[in-house]
Structure 1
Amino acid sequence: MPYSQIISLMIALILVVGAPSGPEPLLSCMTILVLWLLKTSAWICLTVWLLNRSLATRAPSLVLEKLQWASLIPLIIDFYLLEIKSLLVFLPGVSFFPTIIEITGISLFILYLILLWTSYWWVLRRKGLLKSPLREDLGFRLRLILPFLVLYLILSVFSDLLGVIPSGKFQELLKKPFAELISFTLFLILILLFMPPIVRTMWGCVPFPKGPLRTLIENFLKRTNISFREILLWSLNGEKSCTAAVLGLFPGFRYILFTPCLVRHLLPQEVEAVLSHEVAHIRHRHLLWYAFFLGTYTVVLYRLIDPLGTWLISRRLFLEILTRLQYWPDTISSFLAVLPLGILFVLYFRFLMGYFMRNFERQADLSVFGTQGHPWNLINALEKVALLAGNIRNQPNWHHFSIAKRVDFLNRIARHPELKDQYEKKLLLSKGLFIGIAGLLIIIPGLLPTQSWEDSAKSNLTKLYIERLASNREQRPELYIIIGNIFTQKKEYANAVNAYKHALDLEPENPEILNNIAWIYATADDPEFQKPKEALMLASKAARLKPEGYILDTLAESFFVNGYVEKAIEAEEEALKKDPSRTDYYRSQLQRFKKAASD
């Protein structure tokens, strides 16, 4: 399975989603295009140079894997330096299907992978180390990740379709934590159900031919009470791909896969030993554990991210760092915000889940003692696979122990059978610890004083900016704006308006300040600050100075509270056109205005 590519694709998705989308990029479209071409050309030259150097160490495949991760760098440049997301938000259809931006970003990352794979093919082909044509080589690599991309596309389009259902109550329900958890669970079930048949189709698998070997496989599966949909031949690229796999958690969607290389070079008893390993993944429910790891990561992150963020901003030092970051470009601050999530994702899946994956493979190896009574056939199979794959016996792997280590472990168990039970107990303890720690991480956020932290954060932030204003002779309107924003969130409208007016004295034509005061006058729940006419005057001036989506939304709200419903609808529709990134919010506003117009 292409685990590394899948994880890197998910990191790419995080980077694309977290990238800022300003009103317009700092550079012109032509400048961005020229810089993109220069950057991509430099990337190609760098990969060719590094791959050529790797031939001297006879480890080009290891360098290729590292470069596949490094392919995230040109994507980061695209979205955080060239700011191409600011252009993508204006693609046709984005307002209805925001996933188009994510698909474009993932497509760019795949383009960089294709350029890397092409460089790899060219370097090896030039040295006579590869015989397959480029089209075949690229087709094989793309087919490995294509099923996951197709399933992601289907789920994303389905999610976008749910987002356009014209029901305010339904949209509010979708945003509730319980509904989000149910949606994630349903998506996970859909993945488990439909991934196997999608993979079968896109990987070009065909039924295993009838004959003595298929009969041996079927008898073994019957003897071990394993239900399956079909036994398949999985044609991978070239003769070096000798492997087997199990696809599918549920019997009706489960496939047993063998590559032709494995069938051609292994003896029947060795094929049975490999099959014993694959069947052990089913018997020990390893596939279910992988789904559990994914679900646990999502739930724990969902539970922890808000309390952790609240605690951090309640710390004075962290607040000071944040206030300095606000003067940095949005692209840098956005990247710094996304970076911890990407690192956490890699640490969890590459290391913690990688630990369990390696040990699950080892546990599956041990099954041969129960089915054949000895490990010699499996050891022979592993040694043949290592030789056929290009002498990879000692090559490390983050989700498998090296073949040398696997063979050594099987030999040790054969000499000391009591070690098998010790190992099983150790793995069981590891799983218990994981469940216990994950459970605590899910429960603990509900016991934390998050409201106290939030109050402390707002108080500290207010004090921090007031101190800066007091110590700075040069009055800065942006500091007053931030103080006003804090008071607005606390619904301390008098203090908020006072801060905004101080800022307005310093910059009378600042549309942000005009917009913020207008929003308070249009939406405040305190009758003293409900001033519809002043709100409309201020919002109109702000919209003339800066007709951005969020300011047009304030104008629409001001029209609405003054009774000009049709004008409110027109302004909100214009806001939707200007800022497709907040489509859901603007649509909910439009629904509210249209409902009022029809009553």
Structure 2
Amino acid sequence: LWHREWSLAEQMWFYFRQETLPVLVPWLALRAVADGVAAFAAVKGMGPLAQWSEIGVSVLFFFALLYLFPLWIALTLGAIPLEPGALRGRIERLIDRTAARFRNVLLWRTGGARVLNAAVVGVVPATRFCILSDTLLETLPPDETEAVVAHELGHVIGRHLPVYLAFVFLFMGISVAIFAAVPADLAENYLFSLPVLAVLTLVFWPGIFGMVNRVMEDEADLYSAELVGDPEPLIRALSRMAASVGSGRASGSWRHRNVDERVGRVRTLAANPRAAALFHKRVRVLRWSVALAAAAAVILSVHVSLPAVWTRDAGLELARAAAEGDTENPDAWTLYGKVLIRRGMVFEAEKAFLQALEADPGRRDVRDFLRAMPGAKGATLARMAEIFISAGWFDDAHRIAADLRSSGDTASALLVEAELALTPGSRAIPNPYHDPASAERLSREFLAAGRSVKAYAILVRSLACQGRLPDASEALAEARRHFPDDVSLRKLADTLYNRN
């Protein structure tokens, strides 16, 4: 029940801050780390290691979140340490009678919303909190509050929190196994993957997890009766809480039974120690069953995924053999590039696509692949322009130069424009941009800001084309002073000498 003076916006913000934000931010952080590692591995050309690096770092970050998550929950709920007093002393004495360890007992300030709730958050004792809402403390007398805290302690004593964690791994293992068992193209198709994931989520969490969670809640109720020594305080607390929020005793949820069922079960078990001991034993078996199922699901997912990885490796080798066996076949190089992309080998894929473009400069799909490559600026686009110039696709090279300038890569644009201006074309395919004087000007403009062998080569050739051989020789001498071991400059010197 909301505070009657709250506006709709205030109610929505409360719901978002209390229910969504605590889970949304850690999930986004986990996805950001995973995607960041995947992007880094792809850019570094780690290939097959990219996927395993993403998984490994994600798992490590997940366990780090387990440690930090309770701190984040306390922050988003606005929880503060419960003030010293009779109630806190009573709760601390109750905790001391158990093997459970907590960082602190916190008061959840709800700001007027009638949220009657208590919770234990944290798998690691160093960051584990017992949280009680202010409305709960205002509604329940001390003995009933103690019974509710004992219920939450029951989740720790019964090792329910690791079971919840095991369910996460069980769900992940089943999901990975399902999607690894189907063809990759089908698994990556959202029209298939999203409905399958939605059905799996509905069956797994409200169905399987909900059933197990209700048993865990029954055991926590029993632990409360055993710790307090009487089930009646918890029974009165459950009845009072149901009446206070107006949900009714017969109203339950997918995670909790209704009040009448819980009252009947805890009374029956508390009155029969032998039945209670047998129930605890059955829950222990259930816990181990979930843990073993989670381990089996993870092992199964790895077992199913590895053949897919090996198959992709075999496909990579076949694609490489096809491309290298027919170097003039653009289809083979394009297929090889696609396989490399799927393996996260970005740099190698770029080379394959450039080879395909060199074999057939008219391949629009290859051009699109190259433009979509991570970091497909500068060197990649300049190499595309070189291929277009060699093939006589002068307008395409000119458009690439314009794209480079618009993206702020003036240096690469200058080299493309200079080479385009230097290339004469042919009678069949004339070059409308041919202008050796412009090539000289553009190469000098580049060299004014930096040095490169290619810029010097264009300058020397443009001067030679204009008949200014002494100037060309002087520019070549300057280039060889800066790059004395460059083989291409030696060949250019031989050509210029023969021309002289």
Q: Normalization by structure 1: what TM-score? A: 0.53
Q: 1:196 aligns with which of 64, 70, 94?
A: 70
Ranked by relative contact order (alpha carbons within 8 Å, sequence separation 6 or more), the top structure is 1
More displaced 10-residue stretch of structure 1: 225-234 or 264-273: 225-234
Residues 207 and 232, structure 1, Cα contact 8 Å, conserved in 2:
yes
Q: How far apart are 1:451 and its partner, in Å? A: 6.3
Q: 1:354 aligns with which of 200, 210, 215?
A: 210
Residue of structure 2 in register with 1:240 after alignment: 114
* Contact 1:217-1:272 at 8 Å conserved across structures: yes
Paired with 1:350 and 1:410, the residues of 2 have a C-alpha distance of 23
**Per-residue CA shift, 1:252-293, capped at 9, x if unaligned?**
212211112221222221111111111111122222221222
Distance of 2:264 and 2:56 partners within structure 1: 45
Residues 1:398 and 1:239: Cα distance change in structure 2 (over 3 Å): same
Name the CA distance, whole Å, in 1 between partners of 2:303 and 2:50: 23
CA distance in 2, matches of 1:136, 1:449: 47
Does the Cα contact within 8 Å between 1:277 and 1:367 map onto a contact in 2? yes
Partner of 1:184: 58
Out of 514, 519, 535, the position equivalent to 2:334 is 519
- Whole-Å Cα distance in 2 between the matches of residues 212 and 287 of structure 1? 29
1:309 and 2:191 matched: no
**Which residue of structure 1 lines up, in the alignment, with residue 89 of structure 2?**
215
Contact 2:319 / 2:336 at 8 angstroms: preserved in 1? no
Deviation at 1:296, TM superposition (A): 2.9
C-alpha distance in 1 between matches for 2:177 and 2:236: 47
The match for 1:155 is: 30
Kept after mapping to 2: 8 A contact 1:533/1:562: no
Letter of the 1:154 counterpart: A
How far apart are 1:541 and its partner, in Å? 0.7
Identify the range of structure 1 (401-410 vs 422-431) with the bigger mean alpha-carbon deviation. Answer: 422-431
The aligned runs of 1:429-444 (5 Å cut-off) are: 429-443=285-299
- The answer for the alignment partner of 1:336 in structure 2 is 192
3-state SS of paired residue (2:213): helix
CA distance in 1, matches of 2:36, 2:60: 16
Alignment of 1:410-559 (within 5 A): 410-443=266-299, 516=331, 519=334, 535-536=356-357, 539-543=360-364, 547-549=367-369
Which residue does the alignment assign to 2:448?
none
Q: CA deviation at 1:302?
A: 2.9
Paired with 2:261 and 2:6, the residues of 1 have a C-alpha distance of 31
SS of match in other structure, 2:114? coil
Q: Would the alpha carbon gap of residues 218 and 148 (structure 1) be closer, same or farther in structure 2, given more than 3 Å must change?
A: same
Alignment: residue pair count = 386
Q: What amino acid is aligned across from residue 358 of structure 1 in structure 2?
A: R
Return the alpha-carbon distance in structure 2 between the equivalents of residues 538 and 291 of structure 1.
54
CA contact (8 A) 2:226 2:270 kept: no
CA drift of 1:428 comes to: 2.6
Q: 1:496 to 1:520 in 2, by over 3 A?
A: farther
- Equivalent positions of 1:56-95 (< 5 A) are none
Percent of residue pairs bearing the same amino acid type: 23
2:336, 2:352 within 8 Å by CA — same for their partners in 1?
yes
Question: Do 1:245 and 1:257's aligned partners in 2 also have CA atoms closer than 8 Å?
Answer: yes
Match of 1:465 in 2: none
The 8 Å contact of residues 106 and 131 in structure 2, kept in 1 or not, is answered as yes
Aligned with 2:15 (options 113, 133, 141): 141
Unaligned 5+ runs, structure 2: 341-350, 391-396, 408-453, 455-482, 487-500
CA RMSD of aligned residues (A): 5.0
Q: Deviations over 1:38-75 (max 9, x none)?
A: xxxxxxxxxxxxxxxxxxxxxxx9xxxxxxxxxxxxxx
Structure 1 residues 166 and 285: CA distance shift in structure 2, 3 A = closer
Task: Give unpaired runs (5+ residues) of structure 1.
Answer: 1-60, 62-120, 122-128, 314-321, 323-329, 459-484, 498-513, 579-596
CA distance in 2, matches of 1:293, 1:243: 23
CA deviations over 1:133-166 (Å, ceiling 9, x no partner): 3343122101112122222333344445445658
TM-fit CA distance, 1:226: 3.2
TM-score normalised over the length of structure 2: 0.63
- Measure the CA separation in 2 of the matches of 1:168 and 1:490: 20
Question: Is 1:382 matched with 2:238?
Answer: yes
Higher-Rg structure is 2
Would you say the 8 A contact 1:137–1:237 is kept in 2?
no
Cα deviations by residue, 1:485-526 (Å, 9 ceiling, x for unpaired): 9997596679999xxxxxxxxxxxxxxxx963552699999x
Q: Deviations over 1:339-377 (max 9, x none)?
A: 102221232222222222211111111112321222011
User: Following the alignment from structure 1 to structure 2, what is the Cα–Cα distance between the partners of residues 566 and 253?
Assistant: 64
Q: Distance in 2 between matches of 1:340 and 1:131?
A: 43
Q: Distance in 1 between matches of 2:161 and 2:179?
A: 27
**Which residue identity does 1:519 align to in structure 2?**
T
Amino acid at match of 1:298: M
Q: 1:157 to 1:437 in 2, by over 3 A?
A: closer
**Residue 257 (str. 1) matches residue 123 (str. 2):** no
Question: Aligned equivalents of 2:110 and 2:254: distance in 1?
Answer: 21
